[in-house]
Amino acid sequence: MAPRVLVSDKLSPTAVQIFKDRGVEVDYLPDLGKDKDKLLEIIGQYDGLAIRSATKVTEKLIEAAPRLKVIGRAGIGVDNVDIPAASRRGVIVMNTPFGNSITTAEHAVAMMFALARQLPAADESTRAGKWEKNRFMGVEITGKVLGVIGCGNIGSIVASRGVGLKMKVIAFDPFLSAERAAQLGVEKVELDELFKRSDFITLHTPLTDKTRNIIDAAAIATMKDGVRIINCARGGLIVEKDLVEALKSGKVAGAGIDVFETEPATESPLFHLENVVCTPHLGASTTEAQENVALQVAEQMADYLVNGAVSNAINMPSITAEEAPILTPYIKLAEILGSFAGQATEEAISEVEILFDGAPAGMNTRALTSAALAGLLTPLVSSVNMVSAPVMAKERGMVVSEVRRDKTGVFDGYIRLTVKTAKQTRSVAGTCFSDGKPRFIQIKGINMEAEVGRHMLYTANKDVPGVIGQLGTAFGKAGINIANFHLGRDVEGGNAIALLYLDQPLSEAFLDEIRGLNAIGQAKQMTFDV
């Protein structure tokens, strides 16, 4: 059955056609986002939901959509999507961070010019028949210090435009490397230095717990007298009442505000100040940007629903269509290793370490880690996948870490999963052969090579004679066929393990019989999705 997508906000006809061309059924109901009850009634029929800002994707809506796999937001902001709820249900949330980057950056630059030359107020005065040349004395942009807070997709474009305008550009961004700063021609500084040195400050950072109220009265007090502040990013980055006081006192010479603490902003003290330029969240509002994000979200959603490729996901590692064929066998391997550890471990898991050796170390390890956690948690929870697994692991207090290293063994690459509980540490390792099928290569530090079957029995015992005979006899009497039998031990007379690949699942009564054998210390039946 073809995947089915609902478009509940306005997208271009070209975007809708992209879905159809990819073999995705699409229902285009652009005003449905405003009708919460109707949307709730029909959402259960769809695998995907494409939205802009009008549709509010609440936890209640997500709970009513058992088929839903992906939510695509045509635009950057996903404030209208309950991302934690989507993650818990395993629903991927995508946005389109690049489609409107240039448009938003240009709006910030336009705001800077408008503030520098008081264009809106001068326009209003001139239209009123006044000729107030002396009143609207402006400042030049050239040679001024532009402080960019957040130098990602949009901020870096603003920074490059500032350099082109012959400004001295400084930037604060914890993730900005020295190499990238040099490439952009900007100076990387700490936030307090940016506040002290900037003539113009422009914000281009998401709204998080760390960035909320990043500009408040205390921050403004450290700024130059006559600084001008621009926010085309997110409402909530600036404490509006503190900005109003600073504008009234003259500490801040002007502000360009495109986003507000509460939107739609139909009333604000900022509206009554002459040295403020306000726009109604127009950062992404150009014909080109609206078309770009619509096409981009349709391409991304169709790629995921048809090919399994994940791009620009908020709550899951991206997997390109090109890397998906290479990554898929290792995703399956990681999931199986996690499943083995989850089925073998009976106590609460406190730590998870995933080692990527050789080839997997150069892959998308975030995706592999998500797959391993999904396998690990499957025996513990009723419904989990690569999206929800990291969230669930964190909720359960698990500390998850990754280790990458160059090839060290005889295999081109392998993955080793180690879990820690209050009582023990358990590890399992595996690799993928040229046929793409996963193999176990080490369990509890004991080397072995075993293919993975749907029904398996794992046993641990002391390395003494007669164990194979006891197991073989018990299975023979029960009429249960063993497809493959794999053995391993650490040292002669030490600890030994066995993995039996079976043609059918075992009954609890037979498992109890196996556990009752003198030589067997542990016996676990395991099931793998292969």
| Positions marked active-site | 234, 263, 281
Question: Tokens standing for 446?
Answer: 């004991």
Q: Which residue, 390, 506, 380, is CA-closest to 453?
A: 506
Task: Check residue 346 and report its DSSP letter.
Answer: -
SS3 letters for 237-261?
CECHHHHHHHHHHCCEEEEEECCCC
| 270 three-state secondary structure | helix
Residues 463-495 as b/e (b if ≥16 CB within 10 A, e otherwise) read beeebeeebeebbeeeebeeeebbbbbeeeeeb
**Burial (CB count within 10 angstroms: exposed 0-12, middle 13-18, buried 19+), residue 143:** exposed
Q: Which residue, 380, 417, 412, 415, is CA-closest to 395?
A: 380
Q: What is the DSSP string of 376-408?
A: HHTTTSSS--TTHHHHHHHHTT-EEEEEEE---
Q: Check if the beta carbon of residue 463 is closer than 8 Å to that of residue 494.
A: yes
| 501 three-state secondary structure | strand
Strand ranges across the sheet with 495-502? 482-489, 495-502, 455-462, 520-527
Residue for token pair 């109604």: 280
**Cα-based angle 231, 237, 238 (whole degrees, multiple of 5):** 75
